[in-house]
Amino acid sequence: MLDDKHWDDALEEANETKKSCSIRSLFSIILTSCGLLFKLKLILPSTYYLILQSYLEDRFFSVRYGSSNSSPKPINAGVPQDAVNAPLLFNIFVSDQPTLPTSLIADFADDKAILTNSHDPSIASSHIQEHLSLLEKWYKEWGVKINESKSIQCTFTFRKGICPSITLNEQILPTAQSTRYLGIIIDQRLTWSPHLRSKLLSLNNRFRLLRSLLTSKHIKLPTKLLIYKLYLKPMRGRTEFNYGALQKFQTLTVSNASNPKRSEP
């Protein structure tokens, strides 16, 4: 597993050393209940295992349209959505996935990212391809499904060109100039401009919805500040990206709340 600090450190190191940094994002990983139960049986006492077995097996779903319901169909994969223990069960399932010293792997729910760096773009791609080949074998062994259509290859570098193409399940991954990971848009040059533009667009749209409240003369300033903290401030995201244009948006929004005659951000 790769936390945010190690993730940021890896990208920063690649920039400082002028290396080509490649990331591959894999989405829609669906695990099967039988593989999960097999691993749980190896590490849990029988009592806890039987509880989780009854929780994961014999589940059904049906579709409701109006007042009509379809016949129940069995659920053969995944864990109940929004379950408290779902992240823990997923981490147990992927805890023995292949890793390599030449690449970093980051898992968050069903999102996966693989990162490596090298002065030679060909070597960077070969490191990722080697890791993906091991993961392909592991996924097939445990009955895990990967959505190749949502997987991409992105190269982070100040040099021209990109790393050679790689394949996943015999399909060439498309290249992209940027990728979204954990709500952050990471662009090829690590300027964060696409991320800031996206945040500002979302914030301005939300401000327009709340403008009548934030600029009202009949609402007290503490109430307006509370509205801002509840509905606008959380959208700014991680604090290290709250600079420049986002700080300007905050200043103008607070000014609008305290002085309704001012224009919107």
Q: What is the 3-state secondary structure (H, E, C) of the chain?
A: CCCHHHHHHHHHHHHHCCCEEEEEEEEEEECEHHHHHHHHHHHCCHHHHHHHHHHHCCCEECCEECCEECCCEECCECCCCCCCCHHHHHHHHHCCCCCCCCCEEEEECCEEEEEEEECCHHHHHHHHHHHHHHHHHHHHHCCCEEEEEEEEEEEECCCCCCCCCCEECCEECCECCEEEECCEEEECCCCCHHHHHHHHHHHHHHHHHHHHHHCCCCCCHHHHHHHHHHHCHHHHCCHHHCCCHHHHHHHHHHHHHHCCCCCCC
Average model confidence (pLDDT) for the chain?
Answer: 78
pLDDT score for 78: 64
Token output for 10:
């890896």
97, pLDDT greater than 80: yes
pLDDT score for 214: 86
pLDDT score for 27: 40
pLDDT score for 244: 73
Average of per-residue pLDDT across 87-111: 83
pLDDT score for 12: 54
33, pLDDT greater than 80: no
261, pLDDT greater than 70: no
Report the alpha-carbon distance of residue 237 to residue 7 in Å, rounded: 17
16, pLDDT greater than 50: no
β-strand partners of 108:
111
Q: Is the dihedral of CA 35, 38, 40, 42 positive or negative?
A: negative
Question: CA nearest 164: which of 152, 149, 179, 175?
Answer: 175
Structure confidence at residue 26 as a pLDDT band (50, 70, 90): very low
pLDDT score for 265: 56
Average of per-residue pLDDT across 225-235: 86
The model's pLDDT over 195-228, given as tens digits with 9 standing for 90+, comes to 888 888 888 899 889 888 888 888 888 888 898 8
Average of per-residue pLDDT across 60-85: 80
Structure confidence at residue 238 as a pLDDT band (50, 70, 90): low
Token output for 57:
């097996």
- Residue 55, amino acid: Y
Lowest mean pLDDT, pick from 2-6, 108-112, 224-228: 2-6
Average of per-residue pLDDT across 57-78: 82
242, pLDDT greater than 70: no
11, pLDDT greater than 60: no
pLDDT score for 30: 52
More confident residue, 27 or 220: 220
145, pLDDT greater than 70: yes
Token output for 91:
């981490």
pLDDT score for 10: 56
More confident residue, 8 or 230: 230
Cβ neighbour number for residue 3 with a 10 Å cutoff: 10
The model's pLDDT over 157-184, given as tens digits with 9 standing for 90+, comes to 887 767 888 888 888 888 888 888 777 8
Question: CA nearest 177: which of 195, 199, 156, 200?
Answer: 156
